[in-house]
Structures are given as C-alpha cells and as structure tokens.
Structure 1
Amino acid sequence: MINKIYDSMDAAVADISDGSSILFGGFGGAGVAYELILALHRQGAKNISAVSNNPGYHEEGIAKLIAYDRISKLTCSFPNAKDSYVFRQKFEEGKIDLELVPQGTLAERIRAGGSGIEAFFTPTGVGTEIAAGKEEREFNGIPCILEKAIRGDYAFIKAKKADRWGNLVYNKSGRNFNPAMAMAGKITIAEVDEIVEVGELDPETIVTPGIFVQRVVKRSGL
C-alpha cells in the first residue's frame, strides 16, 4: 500500500546531508514550509545550496538557516527586501554567495528542471550583469541568453491538503513556486495543513500529482 506520510517533520528531513541543494517554495510569507525549515535547522545540515524567491524575513523561514550559516549559496530573485537584514549581513560578511535571477527566469528554470528541459534562451537579462559568461544568440532579431534548468536534491513544499499518495491541493496564493519546485526536486517533502483519505480530494483541484511527492507530513500549526 502506498503511504508517503511521515510521523514528524524531524523524520522527514533526517537524511538531508551537508552540501545538499534544496528548493524552498514560497512567495513572501505565503506557501513557505516553515515547520520543515525549523526541522532542518534542528537537524543541522550545512553548506546548503538554496533556491528561493527571497531570503526570508527577519529570522523566519530560510533566514533562520542563513543566520546560523547553514546556507552557503542562495539563488533567488528578491534578496534585498527591507526585512531581509539577515541575508544582507551575511552577504556583506562574505559568508553566503548569491546568484541573482530575474523572477520569471527563476520560475522558468525551475519549471524546465522538472520537465526534463536542460536549458532555454530568453531575452531577459541581455545587456546586464546577469548575462555575463552566458551564451548569447539571436532569434527573430531578438538577442537572447542561455539559461540552465534548476533542479534540487530536495524540495520543501507547503500545501493545504494531501492524501497518503502525495496528491496535493494548495491554498490560493500559497501555490506560487510550489508546484514547479515539487516537480524539480529529486525528493519532494510536502508540509500540509490536513491529510485526507485517498479519494476525498476532487481530482479537478489536485495541482501536484503524488508522482512528484515522496514525503508528506502534517504541520502542527504551532
């Protein structure tokens, strides 16, 4: 019987090793797997290559990992939000590397990673520092740069509901990067508000099929 449910957040992240690459879902504070991140902090893995739209706010979300020097490289679109002071401090101290990626390009690189597409050309970033060292070609008179797909050893996903097969339903804007990251992670771990029986989810509302999810754990809500 297929059953992807884990008893605890700690058990779900126990095998994550130093040097792992992790995709962290979320947009601002919406759709962030906060309890999985806290479990990873307790677990102690370090030298993580993280992919996230932003570096967390205050000391919440991945900002907590950054504060304790667990993340060595961050790939993101919006690193300089007012309340992302933890990242700014560590970056200025040279304790974390940054790969800045335009938001649409970040979404497409992740989507490509989950779809088996190794790279694609885009006009976004042409003529800027983002284009440095990247192949450039022209299509229909439009200069474009080559961007490579993004995949992760793990993906931390936040969803509203799941069943034991790993089918996921999201809550409105909490969806954001989560479905694409779920596809691009080798091992996708879903933190969910509720776990229901197989067959209770309306198939029309399932955004991420269970084939892309390896672990499901119910959040405590604390």
Structure 2
Amino acid sequence: MDKVITSAKEAVSDIADGASLAVGGFGLSGVPNALIEAVHEAGVGGLHVVSNNCGALDSGLAVLLAAGRIARVTGSYIGANAEFARQYLAGELEVELIPQGTLAERLRSGGHGIPAFFTPAGVGTQVAEGGMPWRYHPDGTVALASPARETRVFHGVEYVLEESITTDFALVRAAVGDRHGNLVFTKSARNFNPLAAMAGRTTVAEVERLVEPGEIDPDHVHLPGVFVQRVVELTPQQAADKKIEFRTVRGRAE
C-alpha cells in the first residue's frame, strides 16, 4: 500500500515514446512541474497530451512543447501560448479543441468507466457537425479535420455524443498526500487535477506535503488513493515554487 516513489525521475521512468498523458493544472495553478520536467529529462517524445492548456510562461507543458516532444493535444485553451499557436498553425502539432466543461466530463467519465455521454455543448457547431481543423498542412490548408458526431434529441433538446477519455498515464499535483495515495488539493489548484488523475491508467502525484495514512480526515480527501498508483514528495523548494501568470496590483489608499 505504500505508493511513495523516491524521485520524479523514477516515477515516470516507464513513460515511453507515443504515450498518452492526462495532466492536471490550469494556467500556472496546480501544474505538476516536477513530473513534467522529469518527463522532459527522460527524452521521450511523440506524446499525446490531454490537458486544459499546454503550459504558460515557459513552464509546465510548455517545456515539452518547446522541445518538440508533443505530437497531439486535446484541450480547451491556447491563450497567450504563442509557441502552441505557431506549432498548430504550421502543421507541426495536432490539436483537438473542445469545450472546457466537455473536457472535464470526458476525463471524469473515463475514470468512472462511462464510455460516452450526451451533452448540449457544441450542438450546431463544428464540434458536432465536424470539420474543425485538427491538423494543418504547412501551407495553411487543413490536413485533418474532426469527424461529425452522433446527435440525438431528448425531450425536445438536441445533444451531441462525446466519448470519454482514458490515458496511459496521468500527472497531477496536490497540496497534501499520504502513502496510500489519498490526495487533498488547495483552492484553484483543485481544477483539473482530480479529473486527470481519474482518467490515467497509471497516475503519478507530486505532493507538497507527505503525511502518514490516517493523518488526513477522510471527509477532507478530495481524491481517494484508489485512483493513484505513485506518490512523489516535493522538496521544500519545489513546493514553494509557484509562478504568477498575471500580477494585478493597485496603489495604496492615502
């Protein structure tokens, strides 16, 4: 039952070229940076990544993206990641953009053994009708487009069928974890981490603070250890390293 692994390097050592990864985090919040860096150092490539976005400010998944290690991204947000946009438009990267809530539910469903579900999100758009560019040719023409999806009407409302997502591995970050893999997330870092963890066949969690089994009140557990196979304790320096994407301040009132 002790799932603690000595190092991030060891914890991701069996991730191979072409593996699929569900990665937690939103922007710079709750991103498993130590595990991502270990994957980068391992030199694997051709990765299929499922994450809300693909890193920011040259951190998180942006490290793998800049190194050309990612072949496909399933996500919801490109944002200000200029390299992400460049690779996509240049035909170097396959990208499936889907509504954010749909992404969350596809991950959750994968973790709960639900193969597919119907949702109204995307009805009447290329999400349902197909034709959304997944990959471009270098000349800007579409090389691969999304297929049309099945739709059905329930009680007079049209819905589109979305398939669940499962991945070979999941990389997540938690504030507290115990040796059995039970995890607690803090505030907005809870975002996509529990969902990504559920979707991974092998889930690796980096934790800012490691505690012994029983120290976490069962009512405070956000993700049960049944979804987690490996736990890596961060160093104090790694745990404290939390970047800010946009800093907004105002002057003091006189």
TM-score above 0.5, yes or no:
yes
Percent identical among aligned pairs is: 48
In 2: Cα distance, 1:93 partner to 1:137 partner = 36
The unaligned stretches of length 5 or more in structure 2 are 131-147, 239-254
| Aligned-partner SS, 2:110 | helix
- Which amino acid counterpart does residue 113 of structure 2 have in structure 1? G
Q: Where does residue 90 of structure 1 map in the other structure?
A: 87
Deviations 1:22-74 (A, max 9, x none): 00101111111011000100011111110110111132110111111111000
Unaligned runs of 5+ in 1: none
**Conserved in 2, the CA contact under 8 Å of 1:75 and 1:98?**
yes
Shift of 1:136: 1.1
Alignment of 1:90-169 (within 5 A): 90-131=87-128, 132=130, 133-169=148-184
**What is the CA-CA distance between 1:85 and the residue it aligns to?**
1.1
Amino acid at match of 2:121: T
- Considering only CA atoms, is the larger Rg found in Structure 1 or Structure 2? 2
CA-to-aligned-CA distance 1:93-125 (integer Å, 9 cap, x gap): 211100011001000111110111000111111
Q: Distance in 2 between matches of 1:213 and 1:55?
A: 23
RMSD value, Cα = 0.9
Match in the other structure for 1:62: 61
1:201 counterpart residue number? 216
Q: Deviations over 1:148-194 (max 9, x none)?
A: 00111101010011111111111111111111221111000001001
Matched residue count? 219
**If the length of structure 2 is used for normalisation, what is the TM-score?**
0.84
State the secondary structure of the residue aligned to 2:114: coil
- C-alpha separation in 2, matches of 1:219 and 1:91: 33
